[in-house]
Amino acid sequence: MKIKASVRGKISGTAEKPRMTVFRSNDQIYVQIIDDTAANGSGKTLVSESSLAIKDKMTKTEKSAKVGELVAKKAIAAGIEQVVFDRNGFLYHGRIKELAEAARKAGLKF
């Protein structure tokens, strides 16, 4: 909880450069692109994606890469090209790293 609070104190998303936040559970991974300046400071979700939508048989790491690719495509279609990456207190390796690299490869800049 301390790590998450520390990270959130340093970064914030705007309309021009929204925050891309990641949540990883034991089985799934979820991504939201949020404009923190909208809706009375509570933020507005602009784009979201999760591994729940993927029905193919693949590893959790492969699912994470697929989610990164899908969220990048959705974001670009919504007119979002640059984001601030919020790893939400999770270490930058494994599934989080795969998701970020796949999003970058699909054209999202952060």
Structure confidence by residue, pLDDT tens digits, 38-96: 767 678 899 999 999 898 999 999 999 999 999 999 999 999 999 999 988 899 999 99
Determine contact, residues 101/67, Cβ cutoff 8 Å: no
| 107 CB-near residues (< 8 Å, 6+ apart) | 72, 76, 81
Cα distances (angstroms) measured from residue 24 to each of 38, 66, 81: 25, 14, 23
Q: Which tokens is 4 given?
A: 């998450």
Helices 60-77 + 95-105 axis angle, to 10: 40
Identify the CATH assignment for 2-105 out of 3.30.420.100, 3.40.50.720, 3.40.50.300, 3.40.50.1370.
3.30.420.100
Report the DSSP beta bridge partners of residue 49: 31
- pLDDT of 41: 65
Look at residue 110 in the predicted model and tell me its pLDDT. Answer: 87
Which residues on neighbouring strands pair with residue 32, listed in sequence order? Answer: 21, 48
